[in-house]
Amino acid sequence: MTRSQMLQALLHELGALRAELLSRHTFVQVGGPADWFVVVRDRDALIDIVRAAHFAGTPLSVLGAGSNVLIRDGGLRGVVLRNETRACRRIGEATFEVDSGARFAALARSTARTGLTGLEWAAGIPGAIGGGLPTNAGAYGSELSDVLVSISTVAPNGDVAELSADELGLSYRYSKFRGGGLQGHIITALTFKLRPGDVYAALAEIDRVEALRKINAPTGPSLGSMFKNPAHESRSAGQLIDQAGLKGTRMGAAQVSDLHANYILNVDVGNARATDFLELIAHVQDRVEERFGVRLEPEIAVIGEDAADDE
Q: What is the pLDDT of residues 232-280, one digit of tens each?
A: 889 999 999 999 999 999 999 999 999 999 999 999 999 999 999 999 9
The answer to whether residue 225 is catalytic is: yes
**Pick the catalytic residue: 20, 173, 222, 273?**
173
**Other residues' Cβ atoms within 10 Å of the Cβ of residue 282:** 11
Q: What is the pTM of this model?
A: 0.90
Where do the domains of the chain lie, and which CATH numbers do they carry? 3-83 (3.30.43.10), 88-214 (3.30.465.10), 218-305 (3.90.78.10)
**Pick the catalytic residue: 84, 120, 143, 299?**
299
| Consecutive H or E run containing 69 | strand 69-71
At 130, the pLDDT band (50, 70, 90 cuts) reads very high
**Other residues' Cβ atoms within 10 Å of the Cβ of residue 90:** 13
The answer to whether residue 150 is catalytic is: no
Please return the burial class of 155, using the count of CB atoms within 10 Å of its CB with bins 0-12, 13-18 and 19+: middle
| Consecutive H or E run containing 241 | helix 237-243
Give the pLDDT mean for 61-79.
94
At 310, the pLDDT band (50, 70, 90 cuts) reads low
The answer to whether residue 299 is catalytic is: yes
**Pick the catalytic residue: 120, 225, 257, 273?**
225
